[in-house]
Amino acid sequence: MKKSFVLVAEHPDQEHKLYRCGECGQLWQASRAWNWGNDEYLFKVPPIDADSWKSEVFVQPDELLIFTAVVSDFLNRNTFTKNESPCSVFGCGQRAVSGSVNCLHHHLESLQRARTMPAYPSGRWFKPYVRENIIPAL
């Protein structure tokens, strides 16, 4: 299949490539899944010009999968009950959760900063991947 693709652009980090099918014109992004041996895989993406794509590649399905699996497991394995203390983050109106001085949203962000939880997936979102369906509303 890849043999009929034409290279449109390569991202400066050299981890991603943008291809166009020579037969139908469909764009495809090639990315590497570090968690599966850094193998390259391709996925269909919507129309975009090369310069816009180079400035922000599309969000990668493998990152979405890992993020949702880890965060879902974390949320399901723990019980977070709101207590009477306010979240310690200035300006947040939520209550802190048990075991933390922060609300659940800011607790998760603190774990991400400490690199004990995966960061939110980065990149340009596109259907069928909708940010609101992947990033939990905490």
pLDDT recorded at residue 110:
96
Q: Six-digit token pair at 74?
A: 């974390």
Q: What span, in angstroms and rounded, lies between the C-alpha atoms of 72 and 55?
A: 30
User: Domain extents for the chain?
Assistant: 2-55, 61-119
pLDDT recorded at residue 138:
61
Quick one: which H or E segment has residue 48? none
pTM above 0.75, yes or no: yes
Quick one: which H or E segment has residue 27? strand 27-33
Give the 3-state secondary structure of 87-113.
CCCCCCCCEEECCCCCCHHHHHHHHHH
pLDDT, one tens digit per residue, over 33-46 is 877 788 899 999 99
Sites in the chain below the pLDDT cut of 70: 1, 137-138
